[in-house]
């Protein structure tokens, strides 16, 4: 690539990291632009140079075209890769790059313009003999005209903004009575998102599949397709799981899809990576929906089944090189799935979330398992950007083996600290209809009851939780358990079994139970839950390299392995069927006696951070609420206050120290409960 030796990545998160890996492999120097919120992000650490271009809000940083061009000129970057989202489909930015003498790693501005307006693209596709759905794409946008055209098309009707994507400005009017309110809603959303309320109407294909084709073009007139992806399973009109190739699609249909996508690319003189999206009905008839003039979030599944690096292809095409392979040389091998792991709450309408990733353990990456992410444990999922945590991508020789691998890897994707959709993805990947490949865009609402089952905490879960607590305490001596007979197998008590009761709160936040555990000697226990009792034994092993603790548990002769997180009073089990959380309530007399150990009322760090200021010294008397320490965590300032009245017994850290979450910062001795 003689034309490109330094590349600026005008994006963030996992796609920026993805582009940086390829650019490093190709020997290119890299420049990252970051907002103030991303100064210490993973993509900033991976780049050769980092330039902060503004505050966290994307409008003041990642969307500032002038600042990005300025950094490219100052650093000598010959090319800018926009990733996806942000400026990737911005006509003005592509034009600005060209006028500034900088290579835009993407299609010509004319192609973005032609395909960016849905009504224009429909006309172009019809002329290129790409199948389209009949509808109205006219300039008369009066409500009466749109209602009249909807009546001609016949309900149900799809109402779509001519600009944008991501499901925004899109509504379905199932009946004529629905039409006006749905039209107004689509217009309002489109105006807020794209500054344009022009709409088009289409016949709504019921229970459709969302099929897209990866296409590529170069500056020499060569075009290829890299087969199709099925992206049908969605929530809020946004994709959540993708696979390649599409289940049930024959080679005859696959060829027709690919050739239609190439005709679409040729019609606008396309260069680089593009995705032509189709709606497919139950009879495998397909119709053009839109063309995304950029790399897609789900591009890794196409890479996995073709053995290609599409970012490398983008860079080579942008540098003026010919495509690395011809159509006949591109072979389909195996099957691939991608699951998008989000900070969101599926049980609350997939409400997006934000906050620190207090704990993160992942499956082991390999040639068959890719983890595309831009965050690490301790990083924050910011309120300013998309709440995606990672993309988990797997490959197998066939669909069944790839799906089994996906489910297994999801069970090893362990997150604590904020809500995630991992449990939901596991339920989805194991749903009988999904396993059979019976997918369409209505999959989630149609199978809602099965995909959102009531979470049941079983006696097995309780046995595992209780055993985890006891084994963990035996391996972590504190004042609380220094003389605990559960820690030793020597010594005897005549006519008495060692019995302990644990107080657990179940996930619903309402149910409390008090299982008992009876020590029988030789690492053998009896756990009593209500009227049931179980013979239990096991061991707890910490894997520091992969950041998880594993419990091997034998319950009534049945052995299982479960990852366990014990943090504060939280007990979280990461099982093969999903995660289960409980809280372990400490007795009051114990919590009062644990002040000097960081397990009760001491001042502790709420999250990882750096000590900024210390207000007190040893021996000071403090009152509840007095400021003790200031720390900087997740780019914010936190004032740590005295949790009770008492005397400062010990200050654990000095200004400038980095501390982990739950580190004791100041030990406060309570005179009333002081140990004698």
Place of tokens 């890794």: 300
Contact 209, 440 (CB under 8 A): yes
How many alpha carbons fall within 13 Å on the CB side of residue 567?
19
The answer for residues whose C-beta is within 8 angstroms of residue 669's C-beta and 6 or more apart is 595, 596, 646, 647, 648, 649
Q: Whole-angstrom Cα distance, residue 435 to residue 156?
A: 29
Query: Which letter, b or e, does each residue of 81-114 get, where b requires 16 or more Cβ atoms within 10 Å of its Cβ?
Result: bbbbbbbbbbbebbbbbeeeebbbbbbbbebbbb
341 vs 31: CA distance, rounded Å: 27
> Closest Cα partner for 67 from 205, 55, 337, 78?
55
Q: DSSP letter string over 35-57?
A: EGGGTTSHHHHHSSEEEEEE-SS
For 506, the token pair is 């179940």
Q: How many CB atoms within 10 Å of residue 178?
A: 17
The strand pair at 570-575 and 578-585 is best described as antiparallel
Contact 356, 418 (CB under 8 A): yes
The number of beta carbons lying within 10 Å of the beta carbon of residue 568 is 13
**Residue 270 CB-half CA count within 13 A:** 30
Strands 636-641 and 609-614: unpaired
Helix/strand/coil (H/E/C) assignment for every residue in 279-317: EECCCCCEEEEEEECCCCCCHHHHHHHHCCCHHHHHHHH
Query: Are 3 and 34 a contacting pair, CB within 8 Å?
Result: no
Q: Which of 163, 294, 316, 340 is catalytic?
A: 294
Name the DSSP letter for residue 171.
E
366: helix, strand or coil: coil
Pairing of strands 627-633, 621-622: unpaired
Question: Could you tell me if 22 and 620 are in contact, meaning their C-beta atoms sit under 8 angstroms apart?
Answer: no
**Residue 217, token pair as written in the block:** 């073009």
Is 572 noted as a catalytic residue in this protein?
no
Please give the span between the terminal C-alpha atoms of the chain, in angstroms, as a whole number.
Answer: 75
Say if residues 599 and 585 touch (Cβ distance below 8 Å).
no
d(CA 41, CA 474): 37
SS3 annotation, 523-590: CEEEEEECCEEEEEEEEEEEECCCCEEEEEEEECCEEEEEEEEEECCEEEEEECCEEEEEEEECCHHH
Neighbours of 161 (CB within 10 A): 24
Question: Whole-angstrom Cα distance, residue 442 to residue 221?
Answer: 39
- Backbone φ, ψ for residue 247 (5° rounding): -65, 135
Q: Which of 24, 46, 9 is nearest to 374 (CA)?
A: 46
Contact 103, 77 (CB under 8 A): no
Buried b or exposed e, range 303-342, using 16+ CB within 10 angstroms: bbbbebbbbbbbbbbbbebebbbeeeebebebbbbbbbbb
Between CA 168 and CA 118 the distance in angstroms is 13
- Residue 10 CA to residue 16 CA, distance in Å, equals 8
What is the phi/psi pair of residue 343, to 5°?
-85, 95
CA nearest to 316, candidates 256, 258, 273? 273
Which residues belong to the active site? 294
């Amino acid at each position: 690539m003689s034309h490109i030796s330094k590349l600026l990545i005008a994006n963030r998160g996992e796609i920026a990291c993805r582009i940086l890996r390829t650019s490093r492999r190709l020997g290119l120097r890299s420049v990252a632009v970051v907002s103030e919120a991303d100064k210490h992000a993973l993509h900033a650490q991976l780049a050769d140079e980092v330039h902060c271009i503004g505050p966290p809000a994307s409008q003041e940083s990642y969307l500032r075209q002038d600042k990005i061009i300025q950094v490219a000129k100052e650093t000598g970057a010959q090319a800018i890769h926009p990733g996806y989202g942000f400026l990737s489909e911005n006509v003005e930015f592509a034009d600005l790059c060209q006028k500034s003498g900088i290579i835009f790693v993407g299609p010509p501005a004319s192609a973005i313009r032609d395909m960016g307006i849905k009504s224009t693209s429909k006309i172009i596709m019809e002329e290129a003999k790409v199948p389209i759905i009949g509808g109205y794409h006219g300039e008369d946008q009066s409500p009466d005209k749109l209602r009249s055209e909807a009546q001609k098309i016949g309900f149900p009707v799809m109402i779509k903004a001519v600009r944008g994507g991501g499901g925004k400005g899109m509504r379905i009017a199932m009946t004529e009575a629905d039409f006006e309110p749905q039209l107004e809603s689509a217009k309002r959303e489109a105006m807020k998102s794209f500054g344009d309320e022009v709409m088009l109407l289409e016949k709504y294909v019921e229970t459709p599949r969302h099929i897209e084709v990866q296409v590529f073009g170069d500056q020499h007139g060569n075009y290829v397709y890299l087969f199709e992806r099925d992206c049908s399973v969605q929530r809020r009109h946004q994709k959540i799981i993708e696979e390649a190739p599409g289940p049930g699609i024959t080679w005859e249909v696959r060829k027709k899809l690919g050739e239609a996508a190439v005709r679409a690319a040729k019609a606008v003189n396309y260069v680089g990576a593009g995705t032509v999206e189709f709606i497919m009905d139950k009879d495998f008839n397909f119709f053009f929906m839109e063309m995304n003039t950029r790399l897609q979030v789900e591009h890794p599944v196409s890479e996995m089944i073709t053995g290609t690096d599409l970012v490398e292809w983008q860079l080579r095409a942008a540098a003026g090189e010919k495509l690395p392979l011809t159509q006949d040389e591109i072979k389909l091998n195996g099957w691939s799935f991608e699951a998008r792991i989000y900070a969101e709450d599926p049980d609350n309408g997939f409400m997006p979330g934000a906050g620190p990733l207090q704990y993160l353990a992942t499956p082991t990456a390999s040639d068959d398992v890719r983890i595309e992410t831009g965050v690490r444990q301790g990083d924050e999922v910011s309120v300013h950007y998309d709440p995606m945590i990672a993309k988990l991508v797997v490959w197998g020789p066939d669909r069944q083996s790839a799906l089994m691998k996906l489910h297994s890897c999801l069970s090893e994707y362990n997150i604590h600290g904020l809500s995630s959709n991992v449990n939901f993805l596991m339920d989805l990947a194991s749903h009988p209809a999904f396993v059979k490949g019976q997918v369409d865009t209505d999959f989630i609402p149609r199978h809602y009851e099965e995909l959102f089952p009531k979470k049941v905490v079983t006696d097995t879960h309780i046995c595992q939780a209780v055993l985890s607590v006891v084994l963990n305490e035996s391996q972590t001596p504190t004042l609380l358990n220094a003389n605990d007979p559960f820690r030793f197998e020597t010594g005897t008590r005549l006519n008495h079994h060692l019995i302990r009761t644990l107080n657990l709160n179940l996930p619903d936040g309402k149910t409390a139970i008090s299982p008992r555990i009876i020590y029988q000697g030789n690492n053998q226990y009896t756990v009593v839950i209500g009227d049931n009792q179980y013979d239990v034994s096991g061991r707890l092993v910490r894997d520091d390299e992969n950041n998880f603790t594993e419990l091997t548990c034998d319950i009534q002769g049945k052995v299982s392995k479960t990852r366990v997180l014990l943090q504060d009073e939280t007990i979280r089990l990461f099982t093969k069927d999903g995660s289960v959380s409980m809280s372990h309530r400490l007795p009051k007399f114990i919590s009062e006696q644990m002040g000097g150990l960081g397990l009760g009322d001491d001042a502790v760090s709420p999250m990882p951070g750096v000590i900024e200021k210390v207000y007190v010294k040893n021996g000071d008397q403090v009152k509840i609420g007095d400021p003790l320490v200031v720390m900087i965590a997740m780019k914010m300032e936190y004032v740590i206050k005295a949790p009770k009245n008492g005397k400062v017994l010990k200050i654990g850290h000095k200004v400038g120290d980095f501390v982990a979450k739950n580190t004791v910062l100041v030990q406060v001795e309570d005179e009333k409960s002081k140990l004698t």
